[in-house]
Amino acid sequence: MFFDPSYLLFVALPALVLSLIAQLFVRSAYAKWGNVRNGVNMTGVQVAERILNRTNVHGVGLEGVPGELTDHYDPRTHTVRISQANATQPTVAAMAVVAHELGHAQQHQEGSFLIQMRNFLVPAVQLSPTIGYAMIIFGLMLNFTGLFWLGILAFGLMVVFMVLTLPVEIDASMRGLRLLRESGLITVESDYSGARNVLTAAALTYFAAAIQAVLQLLYFISLGSRRD
């Protein structure tokens, strides 16, 4: 009933291609630099401790977390959680990932405007996609234009969140690279270029997600405009 070839052509297919390309770059970069020992021969945990000891980032807890590429920063507890491989291996990839997460900790510590805006939207975003989709579907089924456009507004909150996430992640990566420099962890330039390669690849995943969200929103808006 709701099948539309234009959705497949202009939203689903481009989103799938972008996502696959982004994942390919991430896996490729992580596989390459996850097998290259960093110049200081430090594991991810040791890298984190060095940064905390030698930069203005402080009061950050460190915890292990299972899985691969599950590393993340938890602003609620001011804790960086490091995946097993990155925590225990002295690789360039581990160095890059840990520095990126500490970049998020620095954003939080300094009250970065972008991360404050994103965090402000978190409560709404937890429900907005589900509510938005429901309103859009029922608005179409019942031919209730007002409900349909309310659904688009709710879905739009998620899109704003996804778009804001991209500069937040890029800024965290830039901060992470600076933290590596400031703490004396870059002893060979190949470590810096490798870390930048890993973080650039990771940023592509957020770029792909943001593009997908924007394409979906534009499609819904065009669908509503055609029905008015």
Of 49, 63, 101, 189, catalytic? 101
Residue carrying structure tokens 């390919």:
24
For residue 226, CA distances in Å to 25, 127, 140, 222, 223 come to 38, 27, 12, 6, 5
Give the residue from 106, 99, 104 showing the smallest Cα distance to 183.
Answer: 99
- Helix H segments across the chain? 5-7, 13-33, 44-54, 84-88, 92-110, 113-125, 128-141, 145-182, 189-227
- Is there a catalytic annotation at residue 101? yes
**Residue pair 158/213 in contact by the 8 Å Cβ criterion:** yes
Q: Does residue 155 sit in helix, strand or coil?
A: helix
Active site residue ranges:
101
